[in-house]
Chains A and B, each alone.
Chain A
Amino acid sequence: MTTTTTIVTQGDRTARRSTRRVEPIYYLFLLPSLILFTLAITVPAIIGIFFSFTDSIGIGDWSFNGVTNYVAAFSDPAILQSYLFTFGFSLATVIVVNVIAFLLAVGLTSRIRFKAGLRTIFVIPMVISGIIIAYVFNFLFSNSIPGLGNATGIEWLQTSILANPDFAWVAIVIVTAWQAIPGTLLIYIAGLLSVPGEVYEAAAIDGASQTQQLTRITVPLVFGYVVINVILGFKGFLNAYDIIVGLTNGGPGTATRSVAMTIIAGFNGGDYAYQMANATIFFVVAILISLLQLSLTRGRNAL
């Protein structure tokens, strides 16, 4: 019975809206996801925000203390430093990743040999565990490169970059970029392949050089992909945790401690409510960046 109704009304949108009853089985399809999602993400989020207005240490008694945690968080040098580091690191990584990935994508879509094999190799870093590759690089940075420095007598190579409070972040950018380039690269390849070849032919006939073709045609035409890559990348890098734990564990001192690490470390130190305030601030930042993403990518559905 229901089946027939569905078919008859399917074509007519206005009629469907008013008359059709939703088959109960559809609720059965949807509810498991909704319930689990609510329990696993929504409820914790609400609990977290709730406790950010209290003095809870995670267990036992607690009482409300208003915005005390937020006021304290905004004037806490450790938290401010972690935001500064996280934003700086994310910005640097986004630039490095996008420049390299874009150039690689241009190379991989040009008339080169071994195209498929090279593409296979360039994507490998994406499938390796961040913490493990960080351990591998940790060994290279703290044993192999200083060893190389000793052998060649180049002084600035002799100490590990990871032990240098001013430059440890560079190592983190290198490893994060190493891992993040493949995803960005694949998106740029898709973008470059969407540019019709005729455009280049016409440009070449008009006498445009290779460089001119790149800057005047390719870059403007794939700009939508640049926006996507920059925002997706930046959002991802803000959550940096695994690679930093594997490389510096936030050190030397707290020089490379990301926001995520501050939240977790503070929690282990008994600052539950305080770090939840920090997490809530972080949440707001994440939402603002997502809204920026939506406003920038809206109307780019043609991609």
Chain B
Amino acid sequence: MSTQTLLTTEALTTVNARGRRPRVRMERVNWSGTIILILCAITVLLPLYVTISMAFKTTNQAVDGNAFSLPAPFSIDGFVQAWNLTTFPVGAGISLFVTAGTVVLTIVLAAFASYAIVRNWDRKLFRYSFFYLLAAMFIPFPVVALPQIQLTGLVHLDNPFGVVILATMFQLSFSVLLFTAFLRSIPLELEESARIDGASTWQTFWRIIFPLLGPMSATVGIFAFLYAWNDFMMPSLIISDPALQTLPVRQNLFQTQFSNNYNVAFASYLMAMAPAIVAYLFTQRWVMEGVTQGAVKG
């Protein structure tokens, strides 16, 4: 715990020191830069604004194709219809299951495996396992997709359970990489004192190491969350029953049927993307740190 706090404050002070450092001839606020960046930020927000405003329009207004007008009158019909058309509760439930399953399984499997690998690095089996697990970073999903479709069908995992397992396996390399790097920085003394007090390996891991991994688990978990919640390719190929599809896959409904009910489509898009955006707003720090760590370690 203390290690991580230390690391974080250190990181923060670096940021602050750098930000506050009075650069010669740059002491004043860079207003032209600020304005340019605000304009750029608008291009990011524009598609989101369009999604929200379209979602609250009536079908009559939405069909005119003017994406930038405000809803008049304000209507929630789109949400009601989208809710029924995509059977939103079922889709959201399955997306939630796939996401929660992937997050938990990824954190648990990766943390256990990483701990075993780091503490037995002098053993060939564990060292080679590390590189073996890392190899998945070099295998794009499309390469193994076809046999996976076949095999999951064969063992009756062509459903959300199968997606949880496969998604976890594709997240595993990155997560093991992050966990092992972090575990190597935890001083052995911490564990040794626990062992002198008679703690078993299991207790040492569960009571001391796993809590220490907390911040890293958060990062790993957020990435698993974003991947599992947003992915289209894997569930669309693996889950064979359309009634069991995740939210992103259900949106293709609006590309074929109901193609003129734009307000319904956008209400549906909004309901599918909102949870990830909300989750991000609450966990920004870990998302941002995670990207950096993942890239630098990878």
A contact set with B: CB distance below 8 Å:
3, 6-7, 10, 13, 16-17, 20, 22-23, 25-27, 29-30, 32-34, 36-37, 40-41, 43-45, 47-48, 51, 58, 104, 107-115, 118-133, 135-137, 139-140, 143-144, 146-147, 178, 182-183, 186-187, 189-190, 193, 197, 200-201, 204-205, 228-229, 232, 235, 238-239, 241-242, 245-246, 259-260, 263-264, 267, 272, 275-276, 279-280, 282-283, 286-287, 290, 303
Contact = CB atoms under 8 A, between A and B. Distances in A.
B66 to A, nearest CB: 6
Nearest to B44: A121
Interface in B252-298: 252, 254-255, 262, 265-266, 269, 272-273, 276-277, 279-281, 284, 287-288, 291-292, 295-296, 298
B229 to A, nearest CB: 7
Nearest to A113: B34
Contacts of B232: 129-131, 241-242, 245-246
A187 B292 contact: yes
Contacts of B67: 139-140, 143-144
Contacts of B231: 129, 242
A132 B251 contact: yes
B225 to A, nearest CB: 9
B73 interface: no
B278 to A, nearest CB: 10
B47 A136 contact: yes
B6 interface: no
A125 B28 CA distance: 31
B146 interface: yes
Nearest to A282: B143
Interface in B164-207: 165-166, 168-170, 172, 176, 188, 192, 195-196, 198, 200-202, 205
Given A119-B288, A200-B23, A238-B140, 19 more contacts: A20-B122, A32-B113, A36-B109, A37-B169, A120-B281, A127-B226, A127-B280, A127-B287, A129-B272, A131-B249, A132-B251, A132-B273, A133-B273, A135-B255, A143-B67, A144-B66, A186-B288, A204-B25, A228-B295
B279 A127 contact: yes
Interface stretch (B11-19, B75-83, B85-93): B11-19
A136 B51 contact: yes
Contact of A131 (B26, B115, B248): B248
A29 B146 contact: no
Interface residues on B, range: 35 or more
Interface in B105-164: 109-110, 112-113, 115-117, 119-120, 122-123, 126, 129, 132-133, 136-151
A30 B126 contact: yes
Given A120-B284, A128-B230, A135-B265, A7 B292 contact: no
A190 B115 CA distance: 28
Contact of B142 (A6, A34, A108, A241): A241
B1 interface: no
Contacts of A132: 230, 248, 251, 269, 272-273
A121 B126 contact: no
23 contacts: A23-B201, A33-B109, A36-B109, A43-B151, A110-B26, A110-B33, A112-B30, A114-B34, A120-B284, A129-B272, A131-B248, A133-B273, A139-B262, A144-B50, A144-B67, A147-B66, A187-B291, A187-B295, A260-B142, A264-B142, A264-B146, A275-B146, A280-B143
